[in-house]
Structure 1
């Protein structure tokens, strides 16, 4: 149960029992629970969006986005902003990239990426609520798929710097990964077959990190979660239109 509690504490703001002691190495075990914790995130987002959809699609989108921000604490948005700042200031210098990535201050590239991501999710949630309310239950699966991808990302890409991303790579969780992937695929087939294409989003981000950066950090994993969530929302909207 310790690894599950750590996964919930790390990925969400949901209340959990407090652990008396903490060892950073325990995060390596917590990664196997990322997909189930993603289902908790998805449940909060789905319920908020469905509640807002009873009144208006825009209200549904606003409720869903606010719920997404609340339950995650904006953790992965922060990773996206840090990565955008680092790439914008790196000028092909690996040392400069890592220096800016560790800087806690938010720059212009980070602000633009964060604002864009929030707008993207807001509009896509609205389109989904307006065009295909029957697909709103699929929001349960979107955060779960995105968090599941952190296992292969961290296990197959070299770590660029010490941190949470490196700790996740200390121990691969392939049995848990395949079990969760199978369960999510079955649920996707039932709720929204288009989400069977979700692994393509994970593969896209893996290829991006591999060829653009040559590795990953915790911020890269968080940014990937945000990007993959948006790609899956877009897939749901396109499927609804078609």
Structure 2
């Protein structure tokens, strides 16, 4: 029964965070899906890696390959996180703090939201195009760490709305086990990379520490700006962590 409940919860997370079609007969349980966010990120990164390897096998230029991967990245997530980053940018652009949440709930995208979307997509595409080695590991870990940062923000900071699409995330989170669960998934992938590339253990370890720090600091930044989080800022944490971490991975390891 426990295994079945966890499976239904994982499938619910997959349905919520991605565009993956889930059978309608599944008894989906959305109450605690936030704990699975890092695992969903790793699955997403794995899917993107397979596509990237296929395009590489077809000898597609890395710049075009990277652009297609970023487009697919947005498509597979339904633009969920990018939309949150855009709404957050529109809210933070307002000088009056009391109006920020109201602006963020407006479905109309403002100038700042559009600019932020362009910046994020450009950063991701250019950074990914500059990464020529270990792209499989990069896609896996970037997608995983960004969603772990989301879970950390859900756990540490207050939710700013009485109701909202992201409110149930905080209500269903169990601490500290749900934070540690995401770390376990990511460290398992990192451990596999170290096992296969033992000569690079120091670089891999340093990148893991830096990625963890970025995911935590991005969530803290939005908390300091708004006094808490909303469903939109959870998406912004994912997008900005992905963009900044991809830039981190462009730094040469030698």
Report the TM-score, using the length of structure 2 for normalisation: 0.84
Report how far residue 14 of structure 1 moved. 1.0
Match among 85, 89, 105 for residue 84 of structure 1: 89
Candidates 121, 126, 133, aligned match of 1:123 = 126
Deviation of the 1:104 alpha carbon: 0.5
Aligned to 2:164: 163
Matches within 5 A, 1:20-39: 26-39=29-42
Runs of 4+ in 1 over 6 A off after TM superposition: none
Root mean square deviation, CA, Å: 2.0
SS in 2 for 1:216: coil
Shift of 1:21: 7.6
Counterpart CA distance in 1 for 2:217 and 2:82 is 19
Instruction: Provide the C-alpha distance between the structure 1 equivalents of 2:136 and 2:171, rounded to a whole number of angstroms.
Output: 36
1:49 Cα deviation (Å)? 2.4
Classify the secondary structure of the residue corresponding to 2:108: coil
Aligned to 2:185: 183
Does the Cα contact within 8 Å between 1:82 and 1:110 map onto a contact in 2? Answer: yes
Change (3 A) 1:81 1:222: same
* Aligned partner of residue 237 in structure 1, secondary structure: coil
How far apart, in 2, do the equivalents of 1:138 and 1:171 lie? 30
Aligned to 1:232: 245
Distance 1:56-1:29 versus aligned 2 partners, 3 A rule: same
Contact 2:49-2:135 at 8 Å conserved across structures: no
Shift of 1:167: 1.2
Aligned-residue offset at 1:231: 1.6
Bigger helix fraction:
1
Residue-pair matches, total: 233
1:220 aligns to 2:226 (yes or no) = no
Name structure 1 gaps, 5 residues minimum. Answer: none
* Alpha-carbon contact 1:51-1:60 (below 8 Å) kept: no
- 1:10-53 Cα distance to aligned partner (Å, 9 max, x none): 1101111225787xxx5331112111111121112212223333
